């Protein structure tokens, strides 16, 4: 292996209560990565309807320290698999209402295949490995959101692909 293969990837991870400006995040990602080619992004918003419940609000709890470390580890894994030029993950915590931005993943790469795949892979692992918990307010009651089977299935696909 040459040193070029193990070049450090510049990436940022932010867990914050404040809202974020997607255009600004994308400009920073582009500037930081000196990226020419492609940026793929994903933005998640708080749903208004979840499993037939009218969502009034969400409260997001996380494990400070482990959250940032686990997202960084997920990005590092993705960077071993695809030639990434830059990565940025922002995830909000605290009280949110339907329509609020909750998560943003931005991936810079020279070509779209790597950017799309890494963005999707990072999002799938974030959902199943990063220590966040959603408490949903509906009909005046709060209840903890249950993990969905589909999220584990989606994350597991990436392991299967690796085994090939």
Partner 1 sequence: MLKVLFFARVREQLGCASVDVAWPETGLDLDALQAQLCREHGDEWREVLAQENMVRAVNQVVVAENRILCDGDEVAFFPPVTGG
- Per CB under 8 A, residues contacting partner 1 are 44, 60-63, 65-66, 69-70, 91, 102-103, 123, 126-135, 144-147, 151
Instruction: Specify the residue, 31 or 51, whose C-beta has the smaller distance to partner 1.
Output: 51
| Residue closer to partner 1 (CB basis): 67 or 85 | 67
Nearer to partner 1, 53 or 135 (CB): 135
Quick one: which of 134, 46, 59 has its CA closest to 95? 59
CA nearest 105: which of 8, 18, 20, 9?
Answer: 20
Which of 85, 87 has the CB closer to partner 1? 87
Closest among 61, 44, 37, 62 to 105, alpha carbons compared? 44
Q: Among residues 146 and 160, whose Cβ is nearest to partner 1?
A: 146
Residue 28's nearest CA partner among 48, 11, 45, 44 is: 11
Between the alpha carbon of residue 134 and those of residues 20, 28, 32, the distances in Å are 19, 29, 31
- What single DSSP character describes residue 48? S
Calculate Rg over the CA atoms of the chain: 17
Cβ 23 to partner 1 shortest distance, Å: 22
């Amino acid at each position: 292996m040459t040193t070029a293969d193990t070049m450090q990837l510049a990436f940022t991870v932010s867990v914050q209560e404040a809202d974020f400006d997607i255009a600004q995040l994308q400009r920073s990602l582009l500037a930081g990565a000196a990226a020419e080619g492609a940026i793929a992004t994903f933005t998640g918003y708080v749903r208004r309807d979840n499993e037939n419940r009218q969502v009034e609000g969400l409260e997001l709890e996380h494990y400070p320290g482990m959250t940032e470390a686990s997202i960084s580890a997920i990005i590092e894994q993705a960077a071993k698999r695809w030639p990434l030029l830059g990565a940025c993950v922002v995830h909000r915590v605290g009280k949110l209402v339907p329509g609020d931005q909750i998560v943003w993943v931005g991936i810079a790469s020279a070509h779209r295949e790597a950017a799309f795949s890494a963005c999707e892979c990072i999002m799938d692992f974030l959902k199943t490995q990063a220590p966040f918990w959603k408490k949903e307010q509906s009909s005046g009651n709060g209840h903890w959101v249950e993990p969905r089977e589909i999220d584990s299935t989606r994350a597991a696909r990436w392991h299967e692909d690796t085994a090939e």
